[in-house]
A and B are shown apart, each in its own frame.
Chain A
Amino acid sequence: MTDVAHAGMGDARAALSRTADVFLMLWRDKFAFVSAAFLLFVIYVAIFGPSILPDGALTMNLRARNAPPFDLERGWVYILGADNLGRSLLARLAVGARYTLLIAGSAVLIALVIGTFFGLIAGYRGGRIGTIILQLADIVMSFPSLLLALIVLFVLSPQVSNVVLVLAFSRVPVYLRTCRAEVLEIRERQFVVAAKALGASHARMVFLHILPNALPTLMTLATLEFAAVMLSESSLSFLGLGVQAPAVTWGLMVSDGRGYLATAWWLSFWPGVAISLTAISANLLANWLRTVLDPGQRWRLEKRGES
């Protein structure tokens, strides 16, 4: 049992030490640490990558079509080779990182928000509304996502934002169910009953008491889903229902390059590696998060001298 361990510590210092704790816990799990570092790197590339590239890396150059990798003749930008329009693959990967992260990130975020919202209602209100919401989730779950992709593609247009919509919509039930299950458990906890006995409003109960306690599980799920969504996006690209040029994602690059696997493997190999590494990192980080957020497992990562 943790007794009052650091008496007399100020607010700011407490916050600082919490950050330090998190870092230390991350450091203790080397896999998670490397994953987090890699994800940060990818995010950095996504934000700043395109601007540090030399001019012309993204313009096509038909003479350098399918230039092989590890050939420094054309400069370091072509270290990973060139694509079928002679554009540097490295540069394309950097631009692709931006779209990929943006799409996967916003799809996860939107699904998380919508799923959580309805999950909260379904779990908290229960009853008929809860049943209806669950029923709807079932319908969404069994609605073929490819058909949905096509509908969106047709009715709207193949913009990045609409691909996000497709990916988000089909993943909403996952969050909805998880959130509902969490709420059903949390709302029976005594502190919620205590708040109710105090006369707390529904909004207060839901947003101050239930939601914050359901969030850790949802965040872990979201991290896992990030990897899954990235892969779904590439599947959509494969079927021609995903992002369309001039936008580019890693999934689209893998898909476009697949025809060259026998002749210019690097076209789909590097983006494939990028997807896999990012997905693995997200998964490892999610595992770490799960450990950190589980009081029964957390000790594995906690720092010396605390018990």
Chain B
Amino acid sequence: MTQSLLEVSDLSVRFHSRGTIVDAVKNVSWRLDRGETLAILGESGSGKSVSAAAVMGLIDIPPGEIVSGRIIFGGENILNLPLAAREEINGKRIAMIFQDTLAALNPVYTVGHQITESMTAHGVERGEAKRRAVGLINRVGIAEPERRFNDYPHQFSGGQRQRIMIAAAIAMEPDVLIADEPTSALDVTVQAGILKLLKKLQAENGMGILMITHDIGVASEVADKVAVMSQGEVVEQGDIRSVLDAPRHPYTQRLLEAVPGRRGYLQTGATAGDLLLEVKGLSKFYDLTSGLLKTATGRKIRALDDVSLSLSKGEVLGIVGESGSGKSTLVNALLGLIEPTAGEVLFRGQSMLLEDQTAMRALRRRIQVVFQDPTASLNPRMSVARIISEPWAIHDSVLPRGQWPGRVAELLEQVGLSPDHAARYPHQFSGGQRQRIAIARALALQPEVIICDEAVSALDVSIQAQIIELLKDLKRQHGLSYLFIAHDLPVVRDFADRTIVMQSGQVVESGRTQDVFERPQHPYTQNLLASRPKEERHRGRALETLK
């Protein structure tokens, strides 16, 4: 067996916190060769980042403890190297990029400084380093490198920041680049660009890339090999195609099963229902103001620009858009949280933008919402029972107080939780369970429409699939309609009857989900779909041709 570029064998790491021991990874082994990309795939809490942190020497000891294992790089076990030698390797021979680009770049230094520092830290003379930094900024695809050299991280977009971080990482032409979820926080189109860049750089200097990700699409896009992790252990590893096409371990199978966008389109027949919600020409403009005195500058931001849509009973309408597309503004307008500049919102033909508060409240009851982040959308200081019964406390004519406990229990059962859970607090639940609580709360007023505002985007795929299943069940039982807002194309593809695509506050495309996905008319939609990792595209088409 030839020597690998980087090899981790039998690595076990645990963390101590007063009296508690957490085994973060157990006997993890993997290897990475020159010019090769290894993806470590896992859901949250699987320990997928720990071995990379061990490679970089980023595990704080204590509370961390490396129980066993070796990390062989350049023929040496780098775990045994002194600090100075480790610093010599970090950034020069092994570099790393991170997920949260805003937090990972020091906000008080210019990007130029930070890229330069990666070189000066390894002995490159300052003037030389600066010159090279400008070249690097150019190389990662940012225009006007000389000018941008002196800009600060917050002056860049998320994608640009990731490019900057890559520039700093490849400055010393490292042998290994570790990328920890580099694209998870980015829009699809931006993600595609970053992945392309990484591949281009790899082709240029032949470095090995370790890609840590939860996204099977991303893994399949860039990786040659994959290691699937669950609960601190590598459950399966091998060539990417063989693992994805013929998973052997049950966990991998379940994971792949849960991945959305693999099930084909819904056979829509529900469009015949009554027209529930109708949005006509909805617009929301913000005046650009400046300073403390809020003087108008005359310019306007068109957050929502003449948006029209409709939702019928029993229907799921997917709304797809990247950040800044106006989908959040739309949700806020529908929920009555902001006042639109123009346009109408009708519920069963009645306007929802009336002055009459009492009438409005009665109308609003028919539309409920489930938000993206279940941790944030539940008041941490309220028990589950209080959270779910809060709608009744607000709309006091709905249910007499005596019946609340019984109804809470019913709702908890409906969303797949136990009635016992009523007395507990949100932090005692997992993310998926919290989202179920949020759904139970949405159901409390027996609405006709539920707006799912990125309701599954923050969840791991397996949990995501469970929640989608739940939503489907509830739709069947209660004849609900969903306004399903997502940036994630596969989920919409699976779940929505119809889909509209938004860009810069406008609806650029709308139609049957299948039509939108298969025959996109608008160039933006086409670009969006083309940006999806090829695995998804491949899957989608394969399924389609099957039919």
Contacts and interface: CB of A to CB of B under 8 A. Distances in A.
B45 A300 contact: no
Given A197-B336, A304-B20, A2 B371 contact: no
B18 A4 contact: no
B18 A1 contact: no
A7 B44 CA distance: 23
B236 interface: no
A289 B289 CA distance: 41
Interface in A242-272: none
B378 interface: yes
Contacts of A199: 360-361, 364-365, 394-395
Contact of A195 (B368, B390, B423): B390
A213 B447 CA distance: 29
Interface string B369-385: 10111001111111000
A3 B430 contact: yes
A200 B428 contact: no
Nearest to A215: B381
Contacts of A300: 17-18
Interface centre among B390, B395, B441 (most CB of A within 10 A): B390
Contact of A4 (B379, B395, B429, B441): B429
B431 interface: yes
A299 interface: yes
A187 to B, nearest CB: 12
B427 interface: yes
A89 B44 CA distance: 62
Nearest to B364: A199
A204 B423 contact: no
A198 B18 contact: no
Contacts of B427: 2
B397 to A, nearest CB: 12
Interface in A1-45: 1-5, 7-8, 10-11, 14, 28
Contacts of B394: 195, 198-201, 204
B381 A213 contact: yes
A201 B20 CA distance: 43
Nearest to A200: B394
Given A194-B371, A197-B336, A209-B379, A4 B428 contact: yes
B369 A194 contact: yes
B20 A212 contact: no
Contacts of A7: 418, 420
A191 interface: yes
Contacts of B360: 199
B373 A11 contact: no
A3 B429 contact: yes
A28 to B, nearest CB: 6
B337 A193 contact: yes
A1 B382 CA distance: 19
Contacts of B45: 1
B15 to A, nearest CB: 9
B390 A14 contact: no
Nearest to B373: A190
A5 B18 CA distance: 18
A191 B377 contact: yes
B306 to A, nearest CB: 24
B335 interface: yes
A73 B394 CA distance: 70
A124 B447 CA distance: 29
B250 interface: no
B269 to A, nearest CB: 31
A229 to B, nearest CB: 27
Given A1-B430, A191-B377, A299 B336 contact: no
A196 B337 contact: yes
A122 to B, nearest CB: 15
A74 interface: no
Residue of A8, A11, A194, A204 with most partner-chain B CB within 10 A: A194
A11 B421 contact: no
Contacts of A1: 44-45, 430-431
B17 A302 contact: yes
Nearest 7 CB-CB pairings of A with B? A304-B19, A190-B377, A190-B376, A212-B381, A197-B335, A299-B17, A191-B379
Given A4-B421, A200-B394, 15 more contacts: A2-B427, A3-B430, A7-B418, A14-B424, A190-B373, A193-B377, A197-B337, A197-B368, A198-B395, A199-B360, A199-B361, A209-B379, A213-B381, A300-B18, A302-B20
Interface of A: 1-5, 7-8, 10-11, 14, 28, 189-191, 193-201, 204, 208-209, 212-213, 299-307
